[in-house]
Every structure is written in C-alpha cells, then in structure tokens.
Structure 1
Amino acid sequence: MEEMERMKGLPVLPCACASLRRASRAITQAYDRELRPLGLNTAQFTLLQVMRLAGEMTQGQLGEFLALDITTLSRTLRPLENEGWLECSTGSDRRERYWRITSAGRKVFERSTPAWERAQAELSARVGEKRLKAMLGEMAVIAGAPRTRPTVTRARRGAGI
C-alpha cells in the first residue's frame, strides 16, 4: 500500500470531486494488487460481491446501485458473463435484462474474498478501523447526495432582501 503511505502527506484539495477521485484511484490500486493474481480487478470483484448479496437485479438497478452508466456497466459485465460467472436473462419487456451470479461466480467470489479481506485489513491498519467505518458510512451518504438535489429557492427580482 505504497500509495496509502504517500497519501499521508498529500495536500487537501478544495474540490470534493478531485479529492474523492484521488482517494478512489489510490485505494483501487491497492485492492487491484491483491486481486490481480486471481485474475480479477476491483470492479469485477465488486460486481460479484453485489450480485452475491442481491441475488438478481436488472441492469438498470445494478447501474443505479453502483452509480454506473449503462455503457460502463455493460463493458464490466461482459467479461464476467463470458467467464460464466454471471448470467443474464431477458424480462417480459425484451429491453429488460436480469443479472445473477452463477455457481462458478460464487466459487470465484469465495476464492477471491481472502485477497479482498487482505486489502481491506491493510487499509484499516493504515487509516484506523474507526475512521474506515466512518468513511464507509459517509461514502454512502456522499454517493447518494447528487441524486437527491435540494430545491433551491431563488429570490424574485425586485423582492429586496
């Protein structure tokens, strides 16, 4: 986790987006290092993890849950389907696609979970368990914030202050 070590001394960025993307890249690199020997990357592991927990989801639900656009999600799903780790079926509306994890996908997930746990433990050791738990809660709030825009009331012209 060299990246995490270097992050300690990084300056605070004034932009929330830039700060979150920088943290995401550093953390993704650390998780990818653990998962790569198993032939997986973080995005693929995350999809297997979500599908294992969710059971079955439409592609739209999955995209919404992961905050991914359909094109990016399709590009990430295809290799997992080609490996036989996820399977897709069409709903009553032919445009609706339902995804679920296969038994082979469950095995890959179970086999790769220790690598994910190592990356998670390393991050926890570097930032502290309490901070990591708080961060996970905050990230859920932050990820949902752009989807729930507050209503901004503008003062009418000439209304005075």
Structure 2
Amino acid sequence: MTRFYDEVMDGAAVSPTQFAVLRTIARHDVVALPDLAQALAMDRTTLYRTLKPLERAGWIATAEATGRSRQARLTVEGEAVMAEAAGAWEAAQRRFVGAFGAERWAGMAQSLGDIVALAQGGAA
C-alpha cells in the first residue's frame, strides 16, 4: 500500500508518511510527541526519526513541554507544503478507493482501527 501512495504522490514535496505526520500535527494546535506517536500508531523512536527531516525543512517546530517531554506544531511553511501535497493525497485516496471499492475500504479502515486499538491496549 505504501508503494501505491509513493507512486501516486511522486511529484509531491513530502512522502505519504510525512504527509500523514503533518496532517496529524495540523489537527492540533500543539501536540505532545508521545500523544502524536500514539495517534500515528508509531513507536517514539520511529516518530522522532520521521520528525527530524520535517524540522530541518522548517515544516514543524518542536519545543520543550512539561517534564522531559517535547511538543510539535506545524509552521507556516509546513501548512504550505501540506496544502500543496493535499491534492496528490486526495487523488491517491480516490484512486485507491475506486479500485478497491468503497465498501471494502470502509471495512478495512474499521479493521485497521480495531487492530490499532488492540495494539494500544484497548478493546476492538
């Protein structure tokens, strides 16, 4: 599935993973990195490796939060790159759902949500 999105979003400035991270940060004004990792179903080490190039590019800013925790926010540049990539992401979504089928997509999305919930210690 990643390969499919990589191919469809080939001309975008961000990868599908980077877009997902930016979009998740954009849903919050500021988000603590442990909360971001949980929202993305990523372990913290993978998240931190994913965030470094986004911060170097100036698309996100991180800062100290309470205790030793850090938080992230989207920058103006990050908002712009996300807006530019949104069309490619939406085209990839439409193409995938069109080929896979809306009903099957809905079922798969529900199943993936259940899997994530179980992995995070909740109930499916």
Structure 2-normalised TM-score? 0.91
> Aligned partners of 1:149, 1:35: CA distance in 2, in Å?
33
CA RMSD in angstroms comes to: 1.5
> Aligned partners of 1:51, 1:90: CA distance in 2, in Å?
16
Q: Does 1:52 align with 2:29?
A: no
5 Å matches for 1:30-41? 30-41=4-15
SS at match of 2:14: coil
The alpha carbon displacement at 1:39 in A equals 2.6
Match of 1:77 in 2: 51
Unaligned runs of 5+ in 1: 1-26, 151-161
> Aligned partners of 2:28, 2:110: CA distance in 1, in Å?
19
SS at match of 2:11: helix
5 Å matches for 1:64-143? 64-93=38-67, 95-143=68-116
The alpha carbon displacement at 1:117 in A equals 0.8
Unaligned runs of 5+ in 2: none
Question: Contact between 2:6 and 2:16, CA under 8 Å: does it hold in 1?
Answer: yes
Structure 1-normalised TM-score? 0.71
The alpha carbon displacement at 1:149 in A equals 6.7
Between 53-62 and 96-105, the greater mean CA deviation after superposition: 53-62
SS at match of 2:91: helix
> Aligned partners of 2:55, 2:20: CA distance in 1, in Å?
14
Closer, same or farther: CA 91–33 of 1 in aligned 2, 3 Å: same
Closer, same or farther: CA 76–30 of 1 in aligned 2, 3 Å: same
Give 1 or 2 for the bigger CA radius of gyration: 1
SS at match of 2:9: helix
> Aligned partners of 1:108, 1:50: CA distance in 2, in Å?
14
Match of 1:13 in 2: none
Question: Contact between 1:84 and 1:102, CA under 8 Å: does it hold in 2?
Answer: yes
